[in-house]
Every structure is written in C-alpha cells, then in structure tokens.
Amino acid sequence: MARSVNIGEVARAAGVGTGTVSRVLNGSASVSATTRARVLAVITALGYRPSHLAASLSRGSPRTIAIVVPYLTRPSVVVRLAGAMTVFDAEGYDTVVFNVETVEQRDRHLESLTARHRADGVLIVSAPVPRTQLAALGGAGIPLVMIDSEAPGVNRIVADDAAGGRIATSLLLDLGHRRIGFIGDVGHEGVGNRSARNRLAGYRSALDGAGVDYDRSLVRNGPHGAHSAELLAEGLLRRPSPPSAVFAASDTQAIGVLGAADRLGVAVPDELSVVGYDDIDAAALLGLTTVRQPLERSGTLGADRLCALVRGEVVRPVRQRLPLEVVTRASTARPHARPHARRAGAVLATRTSSQERRARGGRAAIAGTVPALARSGGDSHLAPT
C-alpha cells in the first residue's frame, strides 16, 4: 500500500500551501470559499486522514483529560464518572479512564500522568492520593481536581461525610432508637476513599449528642460490597441483644444488611430500621431510607472546575462542598412500631393511591418483612450543612 498521504501531499495536489490545508481542516481561519472547496475535494479524493498525534504535538496539547477511578463498577462511582464525562465531551476533551484496583496501579498511573503532553488535566474520583503523588502532579503543573476525596490545597468537590453520618444517625435517634449498629468498610478501603471513616465519626458524634453511649460491639467493618455487609450484619443481628437499627456506610452495604435481616427473618422496619448512604438507583427500588448526595452533580461540577483550571482560570473556593439530604423511605420506623401506626415514607404526588395502599392494606399482607420493592420519591430534608 502506498505510504499514507500527509498534509503536504494534499497541499501540492490542491495547488495550495500546507498552511491553507491546515486552515481548512480546522475550519477556523479565513479561507476563500473556492479554495476551501478545492482542498476539501482533494482531501476526499486522496482519502487523506489527518494525524491526531501530529496535530496535538504541534498544538502542544493533547486535548485529553485523564480520570482516575477506583472500583469503576460501583454504582456511586460510575455515576460520578458519567457526569464528569458528559462535561468533558461537551468541552471537546477526550477522556482516558484509569480504573485502579490496587495502590500499585494507582501510583503507576498517577506517575505516568506527570509526563508532558499526557493529559491537560487530571480528575481523581473517590480515591485518596498520597502527598508525593500530589506533589509530583503539582510540580509538573498539571491541573488537578478531586471528587469525593480530601487533600489539603487541592481543588475538590466533596460532601461532608461526618455531617452525613450525623444526619443518618440522628434520624434513627429521633425515631427513638437507642441501640444503633454501624456497618462499614473502615480499614478495608483498598484504593477507595476514607469516607466511611468520617461517616462513622458522624455516627459517634450524633450518639454523643443524644447522650447515648458508644458501644463498639455494635460497629462492624469489613470489605466493601453487599455480600460482606450481609455477613457483618448477620453477626450483629445474632447477638443476644441485637440493635434495633443499623446505619450502613453505603447503600450497597445497606442492601447487604437488608439481605441479612431478610434471611434471619428480622422484619424491616418493624424489628430493624436500616439507613444507607448515597441514594443510588437501587435504594429507591428497595425502599431504602438513605442519605442522598448529588453523585452525578459532583461529577459535572468537578469536570467544570477542571476545565476552568485547564483554561488557566482561578477557581474559588478551592474546596466546594455539596449538600446532603435525607431521603426517608420504607426501611425506617420507630422501634417496635405496629405496622399500621406509621407512614411508610413519602408519597409521590402522582402515586398517592397505590402508595397509600401499599403502606396500609398492602403492608398487612407482608407483615413485618422488608418492603423490598417499595419505590418512593422520598421526603427530602435538606441537611443542616
């Protein structure tokens, strides 16, 4: 096959200079209509395909954003990622995604990103980054934004996990619960962020505020994931005096708790209230009360911010905090409440009748079990953050 044609050959064939061809290619500059048409014709005639690399090198920018995410398949992570990607796409950036599952992987990729002309900016989602790596990135002058992870001085979009933990726990306390368990992945985060830790701190702080003693035997931590959480919850529920409520550090883990309750025949919410965190899609499907954080929005905001940094703008404040809301659904109730004594959660305006039925007659039939597939818009109380 003939050596592939480059811009010079196009120029020659069209009887113009390379500069003109380049201008046609980039649509931008002033080229007369006739010249443009001629060049375009030659381009298709020769089957010319411009070199992305050469253009990028010459331009001095790859027009690419690198995104580092741990555990891509986790619902909360992928939603943030998708949000960010939408923005980058709209801004004309390619996004190269690094899904890291180990710290070695994370460090290797982070290090590779300090190369010149690698990425115009780096977005890190839900992963903590060691100082040295931050310094390396900073030293290389590469714009960096983090979402859902803390690092002093770094541009970031975060939610207040401690406040979230406090809200969730307070919700349970307000319902009258006193023995409240915690299921999380503190100490098992892997490459993931440390948010469970802060949610646990919020839990403790809420207990403290309510004058309830902290009972460390009600706190269980293990690897992330519904299955692991299920085992942990089972341990909790099998205790002589089990908790009447559980706060799980993520919806995924809360789903595991629901599973354990179901398997052990513990009625939710009548014998056990469960609160999750994140408000992933499944939470609505399962009728799970949870603390909602704006996942997709965190992605778009982080991406917007990174784009601004890449353009050289200064963004303030460095640390943007997103609001939290409690979404009350069917997995929480007063301790030992009788089924009819309460509302199962909020009612979507458009659905009042069926929801109502579900919360009353319907409820009686499934006395004491997880109203597993309840769906509700949920009452949203803005968090006092």
Partner DNA sequence: AGTAGCGGTGGAAGCGATTCCACAGGTGCG
Partner DNA sequence: CGCACCTGTGGAATCGCTTCCACCGCTACT
Return residues touching a copy of itself (CB under 8 A): 4, 47, 49-54, 56-57, 62, 64, 72-73, 75, 78-79, 81-82, 85-86, 89, 94-99, 105, 114-118, 139-140, 226-227, 230, 234, 255, 258-259, 261-265, 281-282, 285-286, 354-355, 357-358, 361-362, 365-375
Q: Which of the ranges 12-20, 182-190, 203-211, 357-365 carries the binding residues for DNA, by CB under 7 A?
A: 12-20
Q: Write the binding mask 104 to 133 for DNA: x where contact by CB under 7 A, - elsewhere.
A: ------------xx----------------
* DSSP H or E segment with residue 347: none
CA angle 330, 332, 338 (to 5 degrees): 90
- The answer to whether 18 contacts DNA (rule: CB under 7 A) is yes
> Which among 110, 99, 102, 96 has a CA at the least distance from the CA of 72?
99
Query: Coil, strand, or helix at residue 328?
Result: strand
Pick the closer one to DNA by CB: 54 or 135. Answer: 54
The partner in contact with residue 114, picked from a copy of itself, DNA, none with C-beta cut-offs of 5 to 8 angstroms by kind, is a copy of itself
| Contact status, residue 183 vs residue 160, Cβ threshold 8 Å | no
| Contact status, residue 327 vs residue 368, Cβ threshold 8 Å | no
- The answer to whether 15 contacts DNA (rule: CB under 7 A) is yes
Q: How far is the CB of 174 from a copy of itself (least distance, A)?
A: 26
Pick the closer one to a copy of itself by CB: 62 or 222. Answer: 62
Q: Identify the residue among 41, 54, 82, 366 touching DNA (CB under 7 A).
A: 54
Point out which residues pair with 276 in neighbouring strands: 290
143 vs 122: CA distance, rounded Å: 6
CA-based end-to-end distance of the chain:
65
53 vs 266: CA distance, rounded Å: 61
| Contact status, residue 273 vs residue 175, Cβ threshold 8 Å | yes
Q: Which of the ranges 30-38, 224-232, 258-266, 295-303 carries the binding residues for DNA, by CB under 7 A?
A: 30-38
Name the one residue in this structure whose structure tokens are 């499934």.
366
Pick the closer one to a copy of itself by CB: 164 or 259. Answer: 259
CA distances in angstroms from 59 to 31, 90, 92, 374, listed in the order given: 20, 20, 15, 54
Kindly give, in sequence order, each residue whose CB lies less than 8 Å from that of residue 46, ignoring residues fewer than 6 positions away. 5, 9, 10, 13
Q: Under rule CB under 7 A, how many of the chain's residues touch DNA? A: 35
Q: Identify the residue among 32, 241, 350, 353 touching DNA (CB under 7 A).
A: 32
- The answer to whether 23 contacts DNA (rule: CB under 7 A) is yes
Q: Which residues bind DNA (CB under 7 A)?
A: 3-4, 6-8, 11, 15-23, 25-26, 29-32, 34-36, 48, 50-51, 54-55, 57-60, 116-117
